[in-house]
Structure 1
């Protein structure tokens, strides 16, 4: 059991979060979500005891184990046990070893930051099963929506310095979020309608007051006095009604208009598009490194209209295949202009602003370019920030904006969701759904695959097979 009272965390001059009261049960399986920079990892560090620089009270009645990012001792146990990392394998192998040591104790409440890092789809699925079947609870931070949905029965959203609690899985959270949006929309419409009605009433009374006649010139003194007294009383009464009506307007609880982005279509000039059916083709493709065979007599073709997800286990050759396509080891249409995104590649000028990195290479005007940047989180004056002050996640978004607005007729993307928070991933999905050119991408994010891809290339046992449809449709058809 964890109990939090009046917890406030300040970083510099900024209050990162202020949580009045929060209780977490010993068996609660919690997914902690929120934009990058809202304090998710800091919150876990406070619960783990690694961060004691806060105001308020945090009471823990259970043994806690943790796996947190960006720590020299990445895997820790509050009970003073320490895991000494001795793995020199790949990042995926190191992550699996850390998780194995974390999960071996089924009695501890877990705090886990980005547990799916470096894991492929099957490894994530197995990890989700193990976490969900544990007797004790956990709080995990992840940007993998499908993983959260498979493991968590409660969602904490860290937003505007507060934690909003949703008592269900991620699908429940999405439904509730939509309900809250619809409710806010109705409340705003009701507010606007009532305010308009009251202002119309006040205006009508004002007009009525203005029509109160002045004393006619030929009227006698006594009659004039009576007329004036009656008119003044009537006008005074009307003016009082106007004032009371306007006070009712001011007393209305102000409602802000809920904001929802309109869909964006990223269209290219038809003359710039390729109208050939096949854009990329491989025939009897082979690849090996020393004695390790990656591909053996592989044949495949990528059509002009497809948004293709390239899938396979870690080490199966996904990035190798992308590099072979980029290096001309497969046939590509001679008019293909490939835009390439890689988390390792560097395409930014750190001495320039965000806008100056994107706009000179954009096929769109400044207005449209800034709309795309805004969707990725760079609104108003944010575009004038220097790139050298940005976080890794923000730099990734600038690189993606540069790719999406560039003069390319085909995109190749290697792990585009890495470093992105859920809001940015959803924004990227929407932009790619409105992108009118084909693309090929690698990711282990199941939700992203299902929301963007309309076909798959699957690498397995040194072969590549194609499938028309997304991963959910593939799993249903193959009863996975």
Structure 2
């Protein structure tokens, strides 16, 4: 059933064209469409035009069903019922004290309670941990209506999407299938562009050489041949001039053919990232740092107790765990120093976090990155190009950059400075899909050691050699990549522990409900308590079965 259609939408801000819809959109029930594109391509703007939050300069939108919106920019408190609180693990939470992930879950729950025909979601995965994204995946997979959303999480796009729409330079291109299938189709399209460019270049070169040859031949016909007298040359002058004009005409015809060729632009070929090991500060020793029985907690909550692990030079460690388990806190402790953390004397620590204190707003992108760089300007600009800063972009002042551009600049500065241990706290926030893929390449090529806190599963899968999973008040150290960790007995043990904790939590809630029911005199309140008691009882039976 058709639920929404949009045609020829356009939007400009201050005279600058932001969006031009070049392909019509029809949204049917059970469609799962992901919008992808670089930062600033107009994805969020397109969703606003579809929902009427902003007016289009041109084009039409028609709705044939109800819709609910989840927006990354919406910070208004949402009211949800007790069932939603239980499903989304929000019971007893107040909006003022909620984390970013909890606020996102509240928005999703409120949108679903409206029972809409269409769900429109702008960056719903931004603040969710891996378990939150898995839960949202299941909800969207079983949702009866249509889903249109923007997300930069590639695993999420793979698991949910039936179609991808790419926004690129104000053009729309639709691809059937999920994100991985989109990449395959896009690669085939790029290969075709490369082939067409090569054919165009060969034909243009052939015609140019032919035109030059004929022009050169015509030019050489000005004088008489050496063996010919002037009187003989004079007699044949008419024939000579005729032949010359014929050659010149043919040269002009060929030049016209060159102008009429269907011009093909050369596809961009990104240079492979290879760090110069000779310039890199190597750690000569078995350990870069070691943590011995570190305990950290605050607000009467223990994040980790007697945490111990050792990091060898070259290790790529990824910190995993739910929101609020202490990943950022651990990175801060390593950076600031702690008597329980022993560092190699050769260790040089670079710390990336969301506050971007690394950058001087008054300086350009290139000036900021070159400040402490081990590399020359040519190589720095190569890395910046991989982070999608092209040509003159590198001369922009940091103060005029978007959030995503500042993130990319800070990351480039960290990678190219004189550090051999990087602490990276959620580096993918605000980064589009293409920059995330570029970040993967840089991390995989990086010769030093890093400790990375992220919820981006594809990034974890591609880069980790070791996993440190935080489960307050304990932690699990695993030698191996993320896929090995997921399939290991350690993962199974973690799941069983989490299930036992959930059963205990439900039992405590049931005890509290029984206590409240025994003293409650208000009939309507009693009905609510009784309803919740039945829900808890049902959840307990499912977990125990």
TM-score (norm 2): 0.80
Inter-partner Cα distance in structure 2 for 1:161 and 1:21: 11
Residue among 313, 323, 342 paired with 1:331: 342
Task: Provide the rounded CA distance (Å) in 2 between the counterparts of 1:30 and 1:242.
Answer: 53
Instruction: Verify the 8 A CA contact 2:271 2:382 in the aligned structure 1.
Output: no
Tell me if structure 2 keeps the 8 A contact 1:68–1:75: no
The partner residue of 1:455 within 448, 451, 466 is 466
For residue 178 of structure 1, report the CA deviation from its aligned partner: 0.9
Matched, 1:161 2:161: no
Structure 1 residue aligned with 2:443, among 432, 451, 455?
432
Deviations 1:309-331 (A, max 9, x none): 11111222212222222222322
Aligned residues of 1:132 and 1:152 also touching (Cα < 8 A): no
Determine whether 1:136 maps to 2:137: no
Once the two structures are superposed, the pairs formed by residues 328-477 of structure 1 within 5 Å of their partners are: 328=338, 329-460=340-471, 462-477=473-488
Shift in CA distance, 205/75, structure 1 to aligned 2, threshold 3 Å: farther
Where does the alignment leave 5 or more consecutive residues of structure 1 unmatched? 77-84
Query: Distance between the aligned counterparts of 1:168 and 1:74, measured in 2?
Result: 35
Question: SS in structure 2 opposite 1:272?
Answer: coil
SS at match of 2:95: coil
Displacement of 1:95 in angstroms is 1.5
SS in 2 for 1:275: coil
CA offsets per residue over residues 275-311 of structure 1, 9 Å max, x none?
2122122233333335433223333222211111111
Q: Residues of 1 paired with 2:153 and 2:77: CA distance?
A: 20
Give the aligned partner of residue 186 of structure 1: 195
Match for residue 32 of structure 2?
29
CA distance in 1, matches of 2:52, 2:76: 13
Q: Is the 8 A contact 1:4 1:22 kept in 2?
A: yes
CA contact (8 A) 2:224 2:230 kept: no
Is the CA contact 1:268–1:436 (under 8 Å) kept in the aligned structure 2? yes
For 1:290 and 1:104, how far apart are their aligned partners in 2?
Answer: 34
**1:415 Cα offset (Å):** 0.3
Does the CA contact (< 8 Å) of 2:356 and 2:407 recur in 1? no
Map of 1:56 onto structure 2: 59
**Paired position in structure 1 for 2:213:** 204
Alignment pair present for 1:267 and 2:280: no
* C-alpha separation in 1, matches of 2:487 and 2:183: 23
Q: 1:317 to 1:60 in 2, by over 3 A?
A: same
Tell whether 2:31 aligns with 1:19.
no
Task: Report the Cα distance in structure 1 between the residues aligned to 2:47 and 2:94, rounded to whole angstroms.
Answer: 25
- SS of residue paired to 2:28: coil
Q: Are residues 353 and 240 of structure 1, via their aligned partners in 2, closer, same or farther at CA, if it must alter by over 3 Å?
A: closer
CA distance in 1: counterparts of 2:270 and 2:448, whole angstroms: 22
Whole-Å separation in 2 of the counterparts to 1:240 and 1:171: 53
Deviations 1:219-243 (A, max 9, x none): 56xx953x33333333333333222
SS in 2 for 1:361: coil
Distance 1:218 1:343, change over 3 A: closer
Does the C-alpha gap of structure 1 residues 257 and 446 become closer, same or farther in structure 2, counting only changes over 3 Å?
same
Aligned-residue offset at 1:104: 3.2
Please tell me whether the aligned partners of residues 364 and 395 of structure 2 are also in contact (alpha carbons under 8 angstroms): yes
Q: 2:68, 2:112 within 8 Å by CA — same for their partners in 1?
A: no
Aligned 1:294-305 pairs, distance under 5 A: 294-305=303-314
Partner of 2:45: 42
Give how far 1:211 is off. 5.4
- Looking at structure 2, the residues matched to 383 and 238 of structure 1 have their Cα atoms a distance apart, in angstroms, of 49
Superposed, 1:64-79 pairs within 5 Å as: 64-71=67-74, 73=76
How much has 1:218 moved relative to structure 2? 6.2
3-state SS in 2 of match to 1:456: strand
Give the stretch that moved more between structures: 32-41 or 283-292: 283-292
Query: Post-superposition shift, 1:467?
Result: 2.9
Q: Which residue does 2:535 correspond to in 1?
A: none
Whole-angstrom CA distance in 2 between matches of 1:20 and 1:34: 15
Counterpart of 1:280 in structure 2 is 289
Shift, 1:51, TM fit: 0.6
Q: 2:197 touches 2:266 (CA, 8 Å); kept in 1?
A: yes
Partners of 1:469 and 1:160 in 2: CA distance: 41
Richer in helix (by share): 2
1:317 aligned to 2:326? yes
SS of 2:318 mapped into structure 1:
strand
1:250-279 deviation per Cα after TM superposition (whole angstroms, max 9, x unaligned)? 211111110021112233546721021221
Give the aligned partner of residue 87 of structure 1.
Answer: 95
Q: Does 1:5 align with 2:12?
A: no
User: Which residue of the partner structure matches residue 217 of structure 1?
Assistant: 229
* Deviation for aligned residue 1:354: 2.6
CA, structure 1 residues 143+179, in 2 after alignment: closer, same or farther (shift >3 Å)? same
Change (3 A) 1:430 1:198: same
Offset from partner CA, 1:92-118 (integer Å, 9 cap, x none): 222112111222344420111110122
The answer to whether the Cα contact below 8 Å between 2:388 and 2:435 also exists between their aligned partners in 1 is: yes
CA contact (8 A) 1:265 1:436 kept: no
